[in-house]
Each structure stands twice: as structure tokens, then as C-alpha cells.
Structure 1
Amino acid sequence: MTYDVLTMGRISVDIYPNDIGVGLADVTSFGKYLGGSPSNVAVAAARHGRTTAVITRTGDDPFGTYLHRELAKFGVDDRFVAPVPGLQTPATFCAIIPATHEFPLYFYGRFPTAPDLQIKAEELDLAAIRDARIFWSTVTGLCQEPSRSAHIAAHEARPRAELAEGQFTVLDLDYRPMFWDSEDAAREQVARVLPHVTVAIGNEEECAVAVGHGTPDEQADRLLAAGVEIAVVKLGPEGVMAKTRTERVVSAPVPVETLNGLGAGDSFGGAFCHGLLAGWPLAQVLDYANASGAIVASRLSCADAMPTPAEVTSLLSERGRLVPEAVAQ
């Protein structure tokens, strides 16, 4: 099977409070959800009608069973998801304090390692990776062996010069310092895979880890110089910029009342993949992805909150933004 979007990397159980506006010490009840950025991106793309799968690992425990059920519920193929004996499925807790726009995360079951960092190169279905229209991975997957070698092998299976028209290799610059010894260590590993990457996505801090500090335009130019074809730099309250060798586009934010800022980037990613595969102009891809991310920011959960095309186009229309044809192609 050829997937529209095949992602690789983290999966976890998100444990989010039902009590909003208080710290974790004062929360009295929680809900559980599928989590982990690459897994969320696969869910988001599936919501837009794309065939998706995720390459990851869970613990051999009830939470692992739960994640398989959730992937199936969202229409994400779980054939590349397997348990790792002796390890527990990670759980991620957060507090939701909308008034301060603070959503602190607490990772459990990821140290000294996690099941999804135990993906091995020899276990990969390289044909599925090579054939996928979009292959999506994150910098976090490069932080530790054997995941690092597996991610490098996956990227090497997709030489940029051999990609067909309409194929993209996306690197989410998703840098989380608690998983790395230093920024220099992360930059070294990013440099190893950038020659295979056609699209890089990150905020200014993540781009600084990947290619050094500078203005967003300077960072985008460095990514392009490394061989990337589309550099996407998230500008926070100023929106998102995307740059190619011939085009520079900025998409202004889509205002919403933020409830939980976590997961908005993953929703952006899944919608961005959808727009790329639909062949829309870059400005429309950015606007659509921006609106998709904004919708999730206005909701409590991540995977369960991913919007449908109708919801995204409705928000764009309400805000007076250009509405692309949101039909999978």
C-alpha cells in the first residue's frame, strides 16, 4: 500500500486535566488521549481524508492496547506499531492554564529511554517509506540509538534526487532539550538528515538549533542552502513564513480564544501535508494549516481535537480568508 502520509517517531498517552486553569497539584480528574507529535500528525492528515500510517513502538501493556485502538478509531494504519518487551508506554501530563498561555508538560516513562526510541533500522519497511507520498519525522527521533540509526536509514531510503513529483520528505525540527545532551549534539544530527529533506518546519528557536541563530529569513535561507525546498518558520504571534528559492509567503495568525496550545503544531502539520498533496499554492497551504492549528488551540485535547476540512474552511470563511478546495486529491 502507498500511503499519502507516513510518519515516524513518538507516541504516548496524553493525560490532560478536566480542571482548567489550575496547576497539576490541584487537578482532581483527568482524561486520556492519544498523543505524541508524529502520531498526532498522522491523525490530523487522516481527518483531511489522507491515507496515513505511523511507525512507532509502545509498551506491552494496557496503554499500548489503548493506543492501537485510538489509531484505528482515527483511521491511522497501525501495522508498523509494535510493543517493546520490558518497557512501559509513556504518559504525558500537562496543566492547562489558558489565562497565562502556559501548558507545562511532564513526561513519564521516557527516561532513560522510551519504546518509540527503540525502533531499529532492520525492522523498517523501507519500501513503504520509499513509496509514501509524504514521509514525516522529527528531530526527537534522532536523539538516541537505535532510533537515530533507524531514522537515518529511513531518510537514506528516500534520496532527494529520486523522489517523484508530488513526493515530499518532511523534517519537523521539534527540538526538546530534555532529550538531548546539548544543542550542538542535536545540530550535528540534523545536519546528517537535511540532505534528504525537502520540507523543514520549526519555530525560530527550533530553527536556531538546526541552523543557527538569526532572523527568520536568514534561518530559512540556511535551510534552503542545505538543500531543503520549502523552509517553514513559525513566527509566533506574527503567523508563519514559508520560503522557497523563488517565493516568500507569510500567513497571518487566525485569531481564536486559546484553550490549550498543545497540539496546534501537529494539526498545522497534518493540514500542511494535505495542502501540499492537493497541489495548492503555498499561500493557501499556509492559511489552511494555520486555521487547522488554531482550531485545535481552541479545544482541550490534541488527537481528538483535529478538525475536518469543513471545520477548517468554515473558520477561514468566517475570518475572511481565502478558502481552497478542501477535497483530497
Structure 2
Amino acid sequence: MTSGATSGAVPEVLTMGRVGVDVYPLQVGVSLRHVETFGKYLGGSPTNVAVAAARLGRSSAVITRTGADPFGLFVHDALREYGVGDQYVTAVPGLPTPVTFCEIRPPEDFPLYFYRYPKAPDLEIRPEELDLPAVAGARLFWATVTGLSDEPSRGAHLAAWRARGRAPYTVLDLDYRPMFWPDEETARERVREALGHVTVVVGNLEEVEVATGTREPRKAGRALLEAGAELAVVKRGAAGVLGMTATETVEVPPVPVEVVNGLGAGDAFGGALCHGLLAGWPLERTLRFANAAGAIVAGRLACAPAMPTAAEVLEVLEVTGEGRTDRGKVTDEERADRGEGAGDE
């Protein structure tokens, strides 16, 4: 078991929102109509981010809700196995734990089928149920816009953000999924309402377009900063990643990978972003590290169990030449991540 949050301790990374069970085919390039065998995995974007952060050595926990059913118990088992605190995960009677199916058609086609009916339990998080001291005390709080799509979850997210008072790092993952919203305009209104409460915003081109009205990366980044963010991260797919603050603009290229399943790459990127921010790394180093973490998971089938360790990420950075910006100098911190002694070369 990896290190993770334990009951009674405020985790470094606290995420909030969607959870479920991912049911992925074990046959690649086959329609669900014809798939015969599946694997069962922990799923849900903010939950996967907590797993990714824990795999990198950060204490983490997730605030979410499951059904009172065997899949809900599986969620608890999986979180504990991955070292993620489950003290803020409770069951909602009468609602089933969500299940998500996908088809694996690499390199770019991974259609998702969400079964979140009649309503997902993770949208039943209530403001009065929150451990607000933990929310305020976490070094990094991560939420996604899915939690704004329905009540009482939307009110709970606003209550959490008020408790933090825009403390660093308060992260909003734009994570826009059209099937969770009545229309794009409603999503845009809710996202813009949220932007004034957070300090870091992360999204891909489609998601930043929903938030800002433009998918041109630099214009979108500036719009997010003008809305209140201190750091805007725009994921541009094959064009790499753009990071912007009021004083710095950084662009890093993608890490080449033979894609097996691209669905968990963004969550791995998110967990690695958390790690770099909490470590106080320069923005370029943080984005290169996050890029490599995402590439590793894109080359693997599942999401949560595919999250890499720091040593795996550093190995990819060294192999691809996309690593440190200090011209090859190996730091004591990186040696520790790889299990080496401080004096090793």
C-alpha cells in the first residue's frame, strides 16, 4: 500500500467530486457490442487525481458519495489499497454507485458511456456534511466543474471554496462533460461563477473554450487569469501544454507515447501537477513532470492502477530528454524519488 491520508489527519491533497467504477474491455479495438471480457477499476476524475497524488508520495483523500451497494464497498477497498483516505466517503441510500464503460480504440477514440441514473450519489454531497476545517487546512484542494452541474453538490462546492478563501492551492479542473449538463451555456455560467473562488485552473482546449469563449490557448489563459486565477494551465493535446501566470508564460512539448487508453492521462497529469505545486518547483519543471506522468498512463489500459510513481516519471523524462531544466544536474530530491542515496551519481 502506498502512503496516504489517514482518519484524523488533514491530507496534503483533498479532492472532491465524481467517483465510480470503470468497466473497461480487455479487448482492444472491439465494440462494446462484441466485447466478452472486462476489467473493473476505480474511476472518477477527482478520485483518480487523489490516487495519482498518493502514488507520488502525497497524503491525499477524496470527498465523495457512493451507493449503499457492493460497488460502493469496492470504492472504499480500492481507495485504501491505493493509500487514499476514504474518511470523507459515505453512502447515499437509494442511489446506485455509478458505472462507466468505454471502448478502447487507440490512438484517439475512447468513447465513454456513463451510467449515473437516476442521479449520481456524488452529486448528493451536501454543504452541512463537509469537514470545513479539513477543506480549509488541506495544502491543495481540487474540484471539477461536474460538481457544479446539480444541487446540492453545487452548494457544497461553493461552501468549500468559501471556507478556503482562495487559499493556494485551490484548483478547478474544468473537466467539462456535455452529457452532465442541460446545455453548454449553463455550464459556462457555473464555471464563470466558480472562477472567482479558485487560484489554479486546468483544462483542455474544449474546456477552456466553454469557460472563456475562446480555444486559442494564450487568449484563453489570459482570460482565466483576468477572471481571478493565479495559474492557468491549458492542455493542447499533440501541441503540448501551456502554463501562464501574471508574470510567466511557459510552453512544453508533449511526451511521445504509443497510446493504449488516453482516458486517465489527464488525471495523472493532475496528480503530478499537485505534486509539483506542493514541491514548489518552477512552472516549467512542474509541467514537464506532469506531461510525462500523463504520457505513462496513456500507454496503459486502466486509470487508477496505472498512476505512476515519481521514479517512473523521472525515468521517462531522462529517456525522452524532456527532463530537468537544470542542464542535467540530479537533485537530492530526485535521487530520493528514485530510491538512490544522496551521493549516488
By the TM > 0.5 criterion, same fold?
yes
Measured after TM superposition, the shift of residue 262 of structure 1 is: 0.6
Identical columns (%)? 61
Matching residue of 2:96: 88
Measured after TM superposition, the shift of residue 182 of structure 1 is: 1.4
Letter in 1 for 2:117: F
Counterparts of 1:293 and 1:174, CA distance in 2: 15
Matching residue of 2:3: none
Q: Is the 8 A contact 2:95 2:118 kept in 1?
A: no
Counterparts of 1:244 and 1:79, CA distance in 2: 34
Displaced runs of 4 or more, over 3 A? 323-328
1:219-260 alpha-carbon deviations (Å, 9 max, x no partner): 100100011000001111100000001000011000010000
Matching residue of 1:314: 315
Letter in 2 for 1:281: P
The count of residues paired between Structure 1 and Structure 2 equals: 321
Matching residue of 1:284: 285
1:84-103 alpha-carbon deviations (Å, 9 max, x no partner): 0001001000010115x201
Letter in 2 for 1:187: R
Matching residue of 1:189: 190
Counterparts of 1:39 and 1:26, CA distance in 2: 29
The equivalences for 1:1-329 within 5 A come to 1-99=9-107, 101-108=108-115, 110-160=116-166, 163=167, 167-323=168-324, 325-326=333-334
Counterparts of 1:13 and 1:184, CA distance in 2: 29
Q: Is the 8 A contact 2:206 2:215 kept in 1?
A: no
Letter in 2 for 1:208: E
Measured after TM superposition, the shift of residue 2 of structure 1 is: 2.5
Structure 1 SS opposite 2:125: coil
Measured after TM superposition, the shift of residue 111 of structure 1 is: 3.0
State the TM-score, normalized to the length of structure 1: 0.96
Counterparts of 2:186 and 2:152, CA distance in 1: 16
Counterparts of 1:190 and 1:93, CA distance in 2: 27
Counterparts of 2:215 and 2:70, CA distance in 1: 46
Counterparts of 2:216 and 2:65, CA distance in 1: 37
How large is the RMSD of aligned CA atoms in angstroms? 1.1
Measured after TM superposition, the shift of residue 112 of structure 1 is: 3.7
Question: What are structure 2's unaligned runs of at least 5 residues?
Answer: 1-8, 325-330, 338-345
Matching residue of 2:328: none
Measured after TM superposition, the shift of residue 214 of structure 1 is: 4.5
Structure 2 SS opposite 1:262: helix
State the TM-score, normalized to the length of structure 2: 0.91
